[in-house]
A and B are shown apart, each in its own frame.
Chain A
Amino acid sequence: MDFDLSEEQRMLQQSVSQFLDNECPPSRLRDLFNDETGFDPGLWKGLAELGVAGIHLPAEFGGSELEILDLAVVAEVLGRHAAPVPFLSHALASLALQLAGSPDQKKKWLPALASGEKIATVAFSEEGGGWLPEQWGLAAGTTLTGVKERVEAAEHADLFVVGLAGGKLGLVDRGAAGIEIQRVESADRTRRFGRIHFEKAPVELLGAAGPEAATRVCDVGLVLLAADAYGGSDHLVATSVAYAKNRQQFGVTIGSFQALKHQLAEMAIEVEPSRALYWYAAHALDHVPAEASRMASLAKSHLSERYSQVARDATEVHGGIGFTWEGDTQIWFKRAMFDRVMFGTPRQHKDRAAQLAGW
């Protein structure tokens, strides 16, 4: 019985955390949050140099060939720092290539994706909110026509992995003709959306695997979002506690008032146990296949709901400053909104978990 992170996983978390402390401190994070595009190529490059872009990818293409849990523990750290980097979509797009790409497709793309030199993203969601493979409606032959919504880092990606009807996956090069990207103002300015209009854009199928590859990509996405939600929630509990220890009213620190102590305790009670839930869901993706999809949905719905609530509570604990644009709490509040919606709302994943239970 060893249900804890390994020394290596802890060190990986520490190195990413230290890098972000140095390169993306609160002042820089606020600048990027307010920036027109919110994208800092240097930040992404630095993270990629730590190996963050290729954690799960095969060693022959320059990856570290680690497990989903390793990806997830990094997602936790990025969530805690509200890191404005396209980690989630890049990890999933490169995973799709790894799972379903032909040898030539892998050879062409994976080395540059593992090194982070090129950025890939996934274009799954469609009008009406279909995130999962069975909901994808875009059909493709050699070209693709249609619209994909809520594509993270659409403006900065070199490569799109597109969800197609029948749970198929297609590959579209950013440089190809017939692609128009429309910026969408998203609440979370650390991870921005674009809408992509494809008009007879050349597409290659990722045909080396069946629809189970697309399902796995989505399940991994759910767990990475759950991990991000844990990191963000944990950060909000910590900053709320720190604020309550510091802020004085009536001549004492407000953290000595029982009403606030109980509110903070409840926030911690909601958040703290959920870490083990995302760990287990990540572990299941590599080691407990029978439970993998169901646990992914369970973890995503549970943690994104905890994050949404704790973000409201943290804002309240911070008082007026929590409600301002200058205060930092809003950054995590909006990340919680992203984590809640991305890859399907808690309601959709509760329904999926119920269905997968055979109820």
Chain B
Amino acid sequence: MDLSYGKEIEDFRGEVKAFLKASWPPSGDAAKGTKEEQLRRFRALAISKGYLGRAIPKRYGGSEQAPDPLRGQVIQEEFARAGAPMEPRGIGMMMLVPTLLERGEEWQKEKFVRATLMGEIAWCQGYSEPGSGSDLASLKTRGELVGDEWVINGQKIWTSSAHEADYMFCLVRTEPNAKKHEGISYLLIDMNQPGIDVRPLREMTGSAMFNEVFFNDVRTPKDWIVGKRGEGWLVSRTTLKHERNSIGSAEQVTGLFDSLVALAKTRRIGGRPALEDPEIRRRLVELEGYIRAHQYSGYFQMTKGLRNENPGVLGLMNKINSTHIGHRAAKLAMELLGEDGAVAPGERNMMAAEILSDSTWINYYMATVGIAIAGGTANIQRNVIAERGLGLPRDAAADRSK
């Protein structure tokens, strides 16, 4: 057992640190122009050094580095420490680019990958529909090929950032007579056209991160399809296992725990700092036990990943572990807020590890419920763990082909 990254990787860390010291925040010539221009210039430089776009071939604008989860981890750590931007956040880099790299046509990769990596275009994901949540493959939005164009009608929901996106990657039923999973195609759609109506959905926190998207004779060219007709379900399952990072999410949680301890220092119970209250101390330690277990399980999964070995059932538990930890942390924060636990939620930067004000804790108290739902509900996670992890039979009642 050796938890160090080794000399080679620590030398690499030194290089990354030196690069960041010289390049971020931008100064001199690099600081000219708008914020966006500065950002683009910095990303281009970081790509040329091999720090960003590592999974992406050079011909599509990436730096094409051999998979190396430790280097990936070090880059993430050092960029975070320096407050430097990495690849654009959002669903485009997370889902669309890996999918195109695995399944896309050459021209699709050329047109979309570089622009997405450089932050020039943004994407949204058209998956869920009002009648198709956990049972996503039952989706009904239909696409008909008319001449050289797909004509799309229907509705998507919970579409994050649709109001800001240039394009959508979308699951559409194009083969109405095929079986449920075999009638879906994966289409790319330009969001700037008249048939698209984006209506914001306000979350319980008050902010509007996601939307309803209505399609009324929306058009997209015939060849803006990834994979063949009817392969959309399979295409949507594509993931890139380049440097899959299992430590990152635990680090986010560790930062959160520090904020919680800080909160316990400032809030008072019975006239004393809450951190001196025996019950609060025990609850903090209990939460930390779960966080540490999650964190070290991340180290284990990283080790397995380095050896191309399967981490087993643990690999299926990361999302629900984060969800559970979030619930526990939120409830403890609420306990600490005491009488102030009924004020309205404030805005929160979802990417920031620290939480600083009371109203952002209230936001977190609500947002953690959202985490249990988004991207596969906790109950669906339990099904996956039970069936794929523990080998239990599928539901007696549910025939998933219907």
The listed residue with most A CB atoms (<10 A of its CB), out of B2, B281, B390, B395, is B390
The answer to whether B392 touches A245, judged by C-beta atoms less than 8 angstroms apart, is yes
Using an 8 Å CB-CB cutoff, how does the interface string of B173-190 with A read, 1 for contact, 0 for none? 000000000000000000
Residues of B within 8 A of A295 (CB): 292
The answer to whether B275 touches A359, judged by C-beta atoms less than 8 angstroms apart, is yes
The answer to whether B396 touches A256, judged by C-beta atoms less than 8 angstroms apart, is yes
Number of residues from A at the complex interface, CB < 8 A: 46
Quick check: is B103 within 8 A (CB to CB) of the other chain?
no
Quick check: is A261 within 8 A (CB to CB) of the other chain?
yes
Known contacts A261-B382, A350-B286, A359-B275; A4 and B393 CB within 8 A of each other? no
A241–B278 alpha-carbon span in the complex (Å): 37
Per a CB cutoff under 8 Å, which of B1, B293, B379 touches A274? B293
Which parts of A250-296 form the interface with B (CB within 8 Å)? 252-253, 255-258, 261-262, 264-266, 268-269, 272-277, 279-280, 283, 287, 295
Quick check: is B366 within 8 A (CB to CB) of the other chain?
no
Name which of B27-35, B44-52, B106-114, B302-310 contacts chain A. B302-310
Using an 8 Å CB-CB cutoff, how does the interface string of B385-402 with A read, 1 for contact, 0 for none? 111011111111100000
The answer to whether B317 touches A350, judged by C-beta atoms less than 8 angstroms apart, is no
The answer to whether B393 touches A256, judged by C-beta atoms less than 8 angstroms apart, is yes
The answer to whether B324 touches A269, judged by C-beta atoms less than 8 angstroms apart, is yes
Least CB separation from B396: chain A residue: A256
Quick check: is A120 within 8 A (CB to CB) of the other chain?
no
The answer to whether B317 touches A269, judged by C-beta atoms less than 8 angstroms apart, is yes
The answer to whether A261 touches B292, judged by C-beta atoms less than 8 angstroms apart, is no
The listed residue with most B CB atoms (<10 A of its CB), out of A69, A261, A347, is A261
Residues of B within 8 A of A244 (CB): 392
The answer to whether B2 touches A272, judged by C-beta atoms less than 8 angstroms apart, is no
The answer to whether B1 touches A241, judged by C-beta atoms less than 8 angstroms apart, is no
Quick check: is B256 within 8 A (CB to CB) of the other chain?
no
Residues of A within 8 A of B224 (CB): none
Residues of A within 8 A of B387 (CB): 261
Give chain B's interface secondary structure class. Answer: helix
Quick check: is A302 within 8 A (CB to CB) of the other chain?
yes
The answer to whether B288 touches A273, judged by C-beta atoms less than 8 angstroms apart, is no
Number of residues from B at the complex interface, CB < 8 A: 53
Per a CB cutoff under 8 Å, which of B70, B288, B381, B397 touches A1? B70
B238, chain A: closest CB distance, angstroms: 26
The answer to whether A3 touches B303, judged by C-beta atoms less than 8 angstroms apart, is yes
Quick check: is A301 within 8 A (CB to CB) of the other chain?
yes
The answer to whether A256 touches B293, judged by C-beta atoms less than 8 angstroms apart, is no
The answer to whether A3 touches B281, judged by C-beta atoms less than 8 angstroms apart, is no
Which parts of B345-402 form the interface with A (CB within 8 Å)? 379, 381-383, 385-387, 389-397
A187, chain B: closest CB distance, angstroms: 24
Per a CB cutoff under 8 Å, which of A3, A256, A299, A353 touches B395? A256
A244–B391 alpha-carbon span in the complex (Å): 11
Which parts of A1-25 form the interface with B (CB within 8 Å)? 1-6
Residues of B within 8 A of A283 (CB): 1, 3
Quick check: is A236 within 8 A (CB to CB) of the other chain?
no
The answer to whether A359 touches B284, judged by C-beta atoms less than 8 angstroms apart, is yes
Residues of A within 8 A of B304 (CB): 4
Which parts of B274-326 form the interface with A (CB within 8 Å)? 275-276, 278, 281-282, 284-286, 288-290, 292-294, 296-297, 299-300, 302-304, 306, 313-314, 317, 320-321, 324
Per a CB cutoff under 8 Å, which of A1, A69, A257, A264 touches B4? A1
The answer to whether B302 touches A262, judged by C-beta atoms less than 8 angstroms apart, is no
Residues of A within 8 A of B5 (CB): 1
Using an 8 Å CB-CB cutoff, how does the interface string of A319-346 with B read, 1 for contact, 0 for none? 0000000000000000000000000000
Quick check: is B332 within 8 A (CB to CB) of the other chain?
no
Per a CB cutoff under 8 Å, which of A264, A276, A347 touches B297? A276
B117, chain A: closest CB distance, angstroms: 27
A270, chain B: closest CB distance, angstroms: 9
B387, chain A: closest CB distance, angstroms: 7
Given A272-B313, A273-B290, A354-B281; 12 other pairs, CB 8 A cutoff: A2-B3, A4-B304, A264-B386, A264-B392, A269-B324, A277-B293, A279-B300, A280-B299, A299-B289, A301-B285, A353-B288, A354-B284
Question: What are 6 A-B residue pairs whose CB atoms fall within 8 Å in the complex?
Answer: A1-B306, A244-B392, A261-B395, A266-B382, A273-B297, A354-B281
Q: Which residues of A contact B (CB under 8 A)?
A: 1-6, 69, 241, 244-245, 252-253, 255-258, 261-262, 264-266, 268-269, 272-277, 279-280, 283, 287, 295, 298-299, 301-302, 305, 347, 350-351, 353-354, 357, 359
